[in-house]
Amino acid sequence: MENERRKNCRCTINQCVKLSYAHEDFIEADMINISIGGTLCSTESPVSDHERIFFMFDVPVDGKPQTVKVEGTIIHLQEQDGKVLFGVTFTDFFPGSKELLQKFIDQCK
């Protein structure tokens, strides 16, 4: 059912990322899937709903890693198997990052 609410195509992505959380701390998380509108991540670190997060991660575009920089807001949390799954909606892309992410998503369709 949740898939029916999604506006954007999601791609599976298995990537460990370090996130700037609460403008001070860095946490480690695993990015599970991604779309142009947001991402689903898993972490063992505590996170809070509605917090802003800064992401910087690489995606392969045309065979080369390209860095995407984006800010987002945590929109839901769920505990599962001792970890926290959290969904993020992207709010602000750094210049060029939205286009790089869209190219990656187009390649994985």
Place of tokens 């890693």: 65
List all residues 6 or more positions away from 27 whose beta carbon is below 8 Å from its beta carbon: 18, 19, 21, 43, 45, 47
Low-confidence ranges of the chain (pLDDT < 70): 1-7, 21-23
CA-nearest of 91, 59, 57 to 74 is 91
Dmax of the chain from CA atoms?
37
Which domains, ranges and CATH numbers included, belong to the chain? 2-108 (2.40.10.220)
Dist. CA 33–CA 13, nearest whole Å: 5
Q: Is the pTM of this model over 0.75?
A: yes
What pLDDT, in 10s, does the model give residues 35-59? Answer: 999 999 999 998 889 999 998 899 9
pLDDT at 4: 45
How many CB atoms within 10 Å of residue 72?
Answer: 22
What was the pLDDT predicted at 10?
75
pLDDT of residue 108: 84
Residues in a beta bridge with 73: 52, 89
